[in-house]
Amino acid sequence: MGLLQPLKGDTGGQIMLAVLALIAILVPILNLLVPEGNPLHVSTFTVTLLGKYLTYALLAVAVDLVWGYLGILSLGHGAFFALGGYAMGMYLMRQIGDRGVYGDPLLPDFMVFLDWQQLPWFWQGFDQFWYAALMILLVPGLLAFVFGWLAFRSRVTGVYLSIITQALTYALMLAFFRNEMGFGGNNGLTDFKDLLGFDLQADSTRIGLFLASALALALGYWACRWIVTSKLGRVAVAVRDAESRVRFIGYRVDRVKLAIWTFSAVLAGVAGALYVPQVGIINPGEFSPLNSIELVVWVAIGGRATLYGAVIGAVLVNYGKTVFTGVFPEAWLFVLGGLFVLVTVFLPAGIAGLLKTLRRRSGSETIQEASA
Amino acid sequence: MSRFGFGGSGSVGVMMLGLSLLLVTAASSAASSQGADHLAPSSAIDIRVAQLTDTSFKIKEAAAQAIAETGAETGDPRAIPLLKALLVGDLYYRKVDDRIVYVAPAGNSSWALTDALSGEALGDVGRRDLRKITVNNRMRSALRASIAALTLASPDPQLRLKAAREMIGSDDPVVISAVRAQLAVEDDKPVADALALVVAIADLKQPEADSRLTAIEVLHGNLYPEAHNALNALLGSEEDVAVRAATKAALDAIDRKRQLNGSIETLFFGLSLGSVLVLAAIGLAITFGVMGVINMAHGELIMIGAYTTYLVQQLMPGLTEWSLLVAVPAAFLVSGAFGVAIERTVIRFLYGRPLETLLATFGISLILQQLVRTTISAQNVVVQNPSWMSGSLQLNPGLALTYNRLYILLFALIVFALLLLVLKRTALGLQVRAVSQNRAMARAMGVHSARVDALTFGLGAGIAGVAGVALSQLTNVGPNMGQAYIIDSFMVVVFGGVGNLWGTLVAGMTLGVANKLMEPWAGAVLAKILVLVFIILFIQKRPRGLFPQRGRAAAD
Amino acid sequence: MISIPSFKPLLLSAGIALGLTASLSGFAEDAAPAADQADDETIKVGVLHSLSGTMAISETTLKDTVLMLIEEQNEKGGVLGKKLEAVVVDPASDWPLFAEKARGLIEQDKVAAVFGCWTSVSRKSVLPVFEELNGLLFYPVQYEGEESSKNVFYTGAAPNQQAIPAVDYLKDELGVERWVLAGTDYVYPRTTNKILEAYLKQNGVAEEDIMINYTPFGHSDWQSIVADIKKFGSEGKKTAVVSTINGDANVPFYKELGNQGISAEDIPVIAFSVGEEELSGIDTGPLVGHLAAWNYFMSVPTDENDTFIETWHAFIEDPKRVTNDPMEAHKIGFDLWVQAVEKAGTTDTDAVENAIIGLTTSNLSGGTAKMLPNHHITKPVLIGEIQDDGQFAIVYQTEEEVPGDAWSDYLEGSKDLIGDWTDPINCGNYNTQTKKCLGAEQAAE
């Protein structure tokens, strides 16, 4: 009973989670049990694609948590996502072992390639999954904590904060591009073989990863709802709307911000960690500031401060990208760019807002309004 | 122009030998060649010239060498123009009969031919009937040296200077004695200095310590790298204590000067990088700083300015020298028009929602990029540099400031000053400031705020376009060029303090110089990372940038 | 009170879920509308080149090249009596998207072969996909080597087909004794420079006569680095720059060289990534005499090349467009693939792979390109000097074609490795010392 508390009144979220649950049940069945060639068959390609969208959705939820409820427009969340991804990538790299092209039992291929003699210290331990899992949470979390601690304490706000988050991810991108850093430079980490002993190319592993992503999204969503419906969340909204007043009342604004900000970064890191084995590569391009901007756009299109809107936005934009880059390879940027402009101008509350309005118009008063 | 040593390598050695032969003959025939008896046709040259049509560079090189030698021997005045045309690639041959010709454009895609040897006019032909005589690097070096040798006694001091400079660092005794002979009669100071330098470097190898000392005296503090190299070599082998000390002192003097040069150079590099940052950011300082619009399409407005430069050059072929002067106002207007259009169609619906302007303009930036890809090309386009933008200003033999950077630095300052003037001294500027400080009050006072918004955004966009003209002279003009500047521009504006133009100027210059100071020891990438980290930390210290805005406007 | 989700939204969500799944499972048909009825009549060829993003500058040309080749082949009657059909997608310079698109092409569109990729990272990103789904990729760009996959055919140059002959030319013909190895910081320059450094040292070049410099992608401020090169080159010995600077960064680099007065006679720069296409974005006046090493130049004086250029101009409807080395590589790859399919009588991947080894086609520069057992091809090495019209004057050409070497002999980790996809070895990274096939293939057994 207490478990459902955070979802109270969140009709959109309930529908979203129900859809998620149904997809999570249907897709594996349609993929594994329905034979290929049957029109109902869902190909592994689609499964992986869906899994990727789900990790993006989780990332978008993390962004919406800080943007929608805390008022921090992060233009650097891609950094936390990528760091989580790199931590997972390092684990996957170590799993390759002597199956790399040079057959070196310890060093990943790119290190042999560059004549490195031994494993750098920060690669130690990544052969253990528990350690990698810890790092997936710890590295983005710690970076966010230090960054947030500095920024919130000195009351950096608004666009200044946005721009320095952008500087953060930009600096990390440049750093990871350097081959001396020991993360594979521009090529990043790739050619993964298996995860926890499961072959990454097997359909069953892909289904497993898809389900893990769905579960992570559901849990992440639930946790975010839990935060925003808790007292902490209500203070956060107050901070978003009138920071000085909250401070004068006696709340430690910087601590509220720091807690939520750090949690959001950890969530982004988890999303990144699930993303990497599904797409098969992590490279510094993920740190690109443009990526971070784009993911803010997903949230805006879905509808800010609704959480489920972020999920809708992420899935929709990326589905659109997949379709358009195939169908209109030469013109899809017009479509995408146009969509961004139109949504911002005509749908300031995003698709979630549109849905709300439609529902209100259709007069279904029986459904409770979302309180957020 | 060339200030690099030729010592040592095998191929160059061969060239030097040829050069010395040339000098002997050039010196002996200098008088007669000035005596204008160019009527005696030299059949030797004719044969050699015919060999230039060969495909083998070795044969062509030998032929060119022979032409130079024959020219020197006989004083044939056709030799130098031939060699010069060959050097710059102006020599062609007619395919039908392999006749060597000079060409001049004669109307539409036809070319007027002149026989390179007889000077006879051969009528007009199409491009396809001609083939260019190509030269390679080796030949170019050899040709340059040959021309220098032939012009060492030229009546034109400029040519003599060029020739003398070409010989710096030579240790060929024949060359040196020719240079000595010329030095004795030389009355032009710069030429004499250059010749003295050639002699001095050679004299470092004299057996008598006194001669060496005198030579060292000449080279004391001399910034030509050849001087430094020769002194360095001497220091390694010298046994005489006094000479050693003098060499050491001379080298120290050079090093001191070099250090000073190095500092000036780094400062210039930094300011120049800074000026690029300022130019790119200053339009943003208006749209973002004054209007509060987070304009992600700013980079694309810069790109549009650069493409305007390209189009202007396409529309006025042959007038490259003047094209930039036309391009600057054109780019201002074109980008400005785009800016006004963006403001009227999208941004005006978003005032009061600054973060959403980011999203909409991000969409616009994608559209503009793809627009350029589809309408012009996905490839980069060529923007020509006018000749006054090429080359460098030689302050001393060890320090040269490139013209393009110099002009762009000046240009950035001029644009900045003009913008300041517009904002501080014009009615529009007053209205802009009024609207940005208190929109409601400004409207109450009768300011037509919608018009002001459009014009302000147009102004910021126009300046971005002007920046595009400058950047087209430095880097690629392609659909992606805007993205390279957008992030840096935001950093500069935020570091300087949003809403403060002076802040943008100081921030841009500071970041540029800081970057260049760090680059030598940190490398280009690490320097940039350190600058970013510095900005992050600096914002912690001063959350509103270098020059924070005060008062009410700053509160939101 | 806890709101148990009311019945209505539950119904709604079931509807959405079903709709979504249905639309996704039907996605295959949507994306390739002609899939069913066209299957028997056409052979599909995937084109995986970025049409947007940073790599669009280089890759759009290659997309057009493949389309041209397909059109040409169809005019000749197609392959195996069927028409070829191009499936063009845009991976948008986004590396994970490359993998996704590759999977889509093979799994959903069922293409017979894919022509694509430019950067190493895009190739690395799609490699596991091609190996998993047993697809065919023709990769047309010069690269760092150290790879030989069963499913990839490398029609661009390996380092031994570009870098080493170029250095030999500078050393022997121009008497260069001091070397600046300048590159963009990614794997191709890193590897090439490692190979060159080892090679130069073997040839007696001292440590202090080699300067190595790396810059980030798209580096635009070259002032300090060019000044450093100038200093390095003014110390008495003949100096040359070996440039592995990538695409976009070249324009500002060459402009800076010209402005700081470094001419090709003073310090020649030989580039491995600068071709006609890159030069078409530069005013080449100040660059005359700088060099590039490739396996093809547009200025190659052969009839085949003239025909190729004419066809290209007619196809692209712009007589000003240039041709370049990766375009030739695609042409060679395409020719070989068509031959292999005809020989095998099927587009089946394994059959084509077996059939293609040993096949030959003519280079545009004369001579023949032969597909080797390591999936690389033989290529002539050409060195050209930049002319003021943006073309190259060829100053050197190897007498014979050089066979592409997948694994460099100058790198510690790979000197004993070879790739051989014929029986009995059938391995991309076979260690000739231990007589073992390393890595993934071993594990797969």
Which residues in chain C are contacts of A187 at CB distance < 8 A? 120-121, 124, 186-187
Is B381 touching C (CB cutoff 8 A)? yes
Is B261 touching C (CB cutoff 8 A)? no
Which residues in chain A are contacts of B369 at CB distance < 8 A? 333
What percentage of chain C carries pLDDT values higher than 90?
Answer: 42
User: Which of A261-275, B427-441, C155-169, C231-245 is the least confident region?
Assistant: B427-441
β-strand pairing of B91-94 with B130-132: antiparallel
B258 within a domain of the structure (yes/no) = no
pTM of the model: 0.86
**Average pLDDT score over residue span A211-232:** 91
Q: What is the pLDDT of residue B10?
A: 39
CA distances from C38 to A43, C44, C72 (A): 20, 9, 20
Of A30, A99, A113, the CB nearest to C440: A99
Judgement on whether residues B499 and B367 belong to the same structural domain of the protein: yes
Q: How far does the CA of residue A133 sit from the closest CA of chain C (Å)?
A: 22
Q: Do the Cβ atoms of B378 and C57 come within 8 Å?
A: yes
Judgement on whether residues B386 and B488 belong to the same structural domain of the protein: yes
Q: Which residues of chain B have pLDDT under 70?
A: 1-44, 107-109, 127-128, 550-556
Judgement on whether residues B427 and B545 belong to the same structural domain of the protein: yes
Q: Which of A107, A206, A281, A355 to mutate to test the interface with C (most CBs of C within 10 A)?
A: A281
Which residues in chain B are contacts of A287 at CB distance < 8 A? none
Q: What is the pLDDT of residue A23?
A: 86
**Confidence band of A109 (pLDDT split at 50, 70, 90):** confident
- How many whole angstroms separate alpha carbon C300 and alpha carbon C308? 11
Range of the domain at A117: 2-362
Q: Do the Cβ atoms of B370 and C52 come within 8 Å?
A: yes
User: Which of A34-43, A339-348, C52-61, C167-176 is the least confident region?
Assistant: A34-43
CA distances from C393 to C125, C170, C389 (A): 36, 16, 10
Q: What is the pLDDT of residue B382?
A: 82
B246 within a domain of the structure (yes/no) = no
β-strand pairing of C178-184 with C210-215: parallel
Of C216, C235, C277, the CB nearest to B524: C216
A281 within a domain of the structure (yes/no) = yes
Of C96, C146, C436, the CB nearest to A113: C146
B251 within a domain of the structure (yes/no) = no
Using DSSP, state whether B37 is helix, strand or coil.
coil
Token pair 């690099």 in the structure block, residue = B4
Confirm if C302 and C283 have CB atoms less than 8 A apart.
Answer: no
Range of the domain at B192: 154-239
Of B288, B371, B490, the CB nearest to A166: B490
Cα-based angle B351, A320, A275 (whole degrees, multiple of 5): 100
Judgement on whether residues B455 and B545 belong to the same structural domain of the protein: yes
- The residue of chain B nearest to residue A151, with distances taken between CA atoms, is B540
Of C2, C95, C185, the CB nearest to A177: C185
A260 within a domain of the structure (yes/no) = yes
Q: What is the pLDDT of residue B28?
A: 46
Contact residues, A window 17-46, toward C, CB-based 8 Å cutoff: 18-19, 22-23, 26-27, 30, 39-46
Domain end point (choices B82, B111, B143): B143
B37 within a domain of the structure (yes/no) = yes
Mean confidence (pLDDT) of chain A:
86
For residue B137, give the nearest of C395, C234, C286, C276 by alpha carbon.
C395
Averaging pLDDT over each range in A9-18, A358-367, C16-25, which range is the top one?
A9-18
Terminal alpha carbon distance of chain B: 58
Judgement on whether residues B218 and B170 belong to the same structural domain of the protein: yes
Amino acid identity for residue B403 in this structure:
Y
- The residue of chain C nearest to residue B258, with distances taken between CA atoms, is C231
Domain end point (choices B239, B274, B297): B239
- The residue of chain B nearest to residue A244, with distances taken between CA atoms, is B555
A369 within a domain of the structure (yes/no) = no
Domains held by chain A: number: 1
Q: How far does the CA of residue A40 sit from the closest CA of chain B (Å)?
A: 36
Total H helices, total E strands in chain B: 21, 7
Q: Which of A4, A46, A95 to mutate to test the interface with C (most CBs of C within 10 A)?
A: A46
Q: What is the pLDDT of residue C24?
A: 60
Contact residues, B window 131-170, toward A, CB-based 8 Å cutoff: none
Domains held by chain B: number: 3
Which residues in chain B are contacts of C61 at CB distance < 8 A? 379
Contact residues, A window 289-328, toward C, CB-based 8 Å cutoff: 322-323, 325-327
Enter the DSSP assignment of C240.
E
Judgement on whether residues B432 and B523 belong to the same structural domain of the protein: yes
pLDDT at C21 > cutoff 70: no
Domain end point (choices B120, B143, B166): B143
Judgement on whether residues B227 and B106 belong to the same structural domain of the protein: no
Confirm if C369 and C379 have CB atoms less than 8 A apart.
Answer: yes
- How many whole angstroms separate alpha carbon C189 and alpha carbon C216? 11
Of C52, C220, C266, the CB nearest to B2: C266
Which residues in chain A are contacts of B545 at CB distance < 8 A? 160
Beta partners for residue B401, in sequence order: B393
Confirm if A276 and A92 have CB atoms less than 8 A apart.
Answer: yes
Q: Do the Cβ atoms of C52 and A333 come within 8 Å?
A: yes
**Confidence band of C137 (pLDDT split at 50, 70, 90):** very high
Q: Do the Cβ atoms of B539 and A164 come within 8 Å?
A: yes
- How many whole angstroms separate alpha carbon A132 and alpha carbon A126? 5
Judgement on whether residues B137 and B196 belong to the same structural domain of the protein: no
For chains A and C, count residue pairs whose Cβ atoms are closer than 8 Å.
206
**Confidence band of A203 (pLDDT split at 50, 70, 90):** confident
B512 within a domain of the structure (yes/no) = yes
Is A72 touching B (CB cutoff 8 A)? no
Of B144, B369, B477, the CB nearest to C265: B144
Q: Which residue has the higher pLDDT, A154 or C333?
A: C333
Of C88, C95, C104, the CB nearest to A45: C104
Is B321 touching C (CB cutoff 8 A)? no
- How many whole angstroms separate alpha carbon C301 and alpha carbon C298? 8
Q: What is the pLDDT of residue A372?
A: 36
For residue C153, give the nearest of C355, C304, C309, C305 by alpha carbon.
C355
- How many whole angstroms separate alpha carbon B30 and alpha carbon B73? 9
**Average pLDDT score over residue span A180-184:** 85
A368 within a domain of the structure (yes/no) = no
Mean confidence (pLDDT) of chain C:
85
pLDDT at C114 > cutoff 90: yes
For residue C262, give the nearest of B183, B354, A49, B400 by alpha carbon.
B400
Token pair 């580039």 in the structure block, residue = C271
A258 within a domain of the structure (yes/no) = yes
**Confidence band of A367 (pLDDT split at 50, 70, 90):** very low
Instruction: Provide the ipTM.
Output: 0.88
For residue A256, give the nearest of A152, A137, A134 by alpha carbon.
A152
3-state secondary structure chain A: CCCCHHHCCCHHHHHHHHHHHHHHHHHHHHHHCCCCCCCCCCCHHHHHHHHHHHHHHHHHHHHHHHHHHHCCCCCCHHHHHHHHHHHHHHHHHHHHHHHCCCCCCCCCHHHHHCCCCCCCHHHCCCCCHHHHHHHHHHHHHHHHHHHHHHHHHCCCCHHHHHHHHHHHHHHHHHHHHCHHHCCCHHHCEECCCEECCEECCCHHHHHHHHHHHHHHHHHHHHHHHHHHHCHHHHHHHHHHHCHHHHHHHCCCHHHHHHHHHHHHHHHHHHHHHHHHHHHCEECHHHHCHHHHHHHHHHHHHHCCCCCHHHHHHHHHHHHHHHHHHHHCCCCHHHHHHHHHHHHHHHCCCHHHHHHHHHHHHCCCCCCCCCCC
Is B405 touching C (CB cutoff 8 A)? yes
Q: Do the Cβ atoms of B475 and C235 come within 8 Å?
A: no
Contact residues, C window 243-262, toward A, CB-based 8 Å cutoff: none
A317 within a domain of the structure (yes/no) = yes
Query: Which tens digit of pLDDT belongs to each residue from C87-104?
Result: 999 998 888 889 989 999
Amino acid identity for residue A153 in this structure:
R
Other beta carbons less than 10 A from residue B24's beta carbon:
17
Name, in order, each residue with C-beta under 8 angstroms of B298's C-beta and a sequence gap of 6 or more.
Answer: B283, B284, B287, B288, B361, B460, B461, B464, B482, B485, B486, B489
Judgement on whether residues B319 and B350 belong to the same structural domain of the protein: yes
Q: For residue B70, how many C-alpha atoms fall within 13 Å in the half-sphere facing its CB?
A: 22
Judgement on whether residues B174 and B206 belong to the same structural domain of the protein: yes
Q: What is the pLDDT of residue C39?
A: 52
Which chains are within 8 Å of C by 3+ CB pairs?
Answer: A, B
